[in-house]
Amino acid sequence: MPFYLETNYIIDALERHAGAFEAAFRNAPVAERTFRTAPGKWNLHEIICHLHDEEREDFRTRVKHILDGRQDPMPPIDPPGWVKERDYEGQPYDDVLDRFIAERRQSVAWLRGLQAPAWDHTYRHPKFGEWTADFLLANWLAHDYLHLRQISRVKYLYLKSLSGGLDYAGDW
3-state secondary structure 47-72: HHHHHHHHHHHHHHHHHHHHHCCCCC
List C-alpha distances in Å: 19 to 58, 71, 117, 169.
21, 34, 26, 25
Residue 161 lies in a domain: yes
List C-alpha distances in Å: 170 to 25, 62, 165, 166.
24, 40, 11, 7
Q: How far apart are the C-alpha atoms of 131 and 124, rounded to whole Å?
A: 6
Residue 87 lies in a domain: yes
CATH of the domain at 138: 1.20.120.450
Q: 16 pLDDT exceeds 80? A: yes
pLDDT tens for residues 113-130? 999 999 999 999 999 999
Average pLDDT over residues 148-165: 95
pLDDT tens for residues 58-105? 999 999 999 999 999 999 999 999 999 999 999 999 999 999 999 999
Q: How far apart are the C-alpha atoms of 145 and 14, rounded to whole Å?
A: 10
Q: 3 pLDDT exceeds 50? A: no
Q: 1 pLDDT exceeds 50? A: no
Q: How far apart are the C-alpha atoms of 43 and 38, rounded to whole Å?
A: 9
Residue 1 lies in a domain: no
Mean pLDDT, rounded, of the chain: 94
Residue 14: CB atoms within 10 A of its CB come to: 20
Q: How many residues does the chain have?
A: 172
Average pLDDT over residues 27-56: 97
State the pLDDT confidence band at 155, using cuts at 50, 70 and 90: very high
Residue 127 lies in a domain: yes
Q: What percent of the chain has pLDDT above 90?
A: 90
Helix axes 60-67, 93-113, angle to 10 degrees: 20
The confidence score (pLDDT) of residue 5 equals 60
Adjacent-strand bridge partners of 129: 125
Residue 171 lies in a domain: no
Q: How many domains does the chain have?
A: 1
* CA trace torsion 88, 18, 15, 116 (10° rounding): -20
Residue 2 lies in a domain: no
Q: Which domain holds residue 34?
A: 7-166
Q: 145 pLDDT exceeds 60? A: yes
Residue 30 lies in a domain: yes
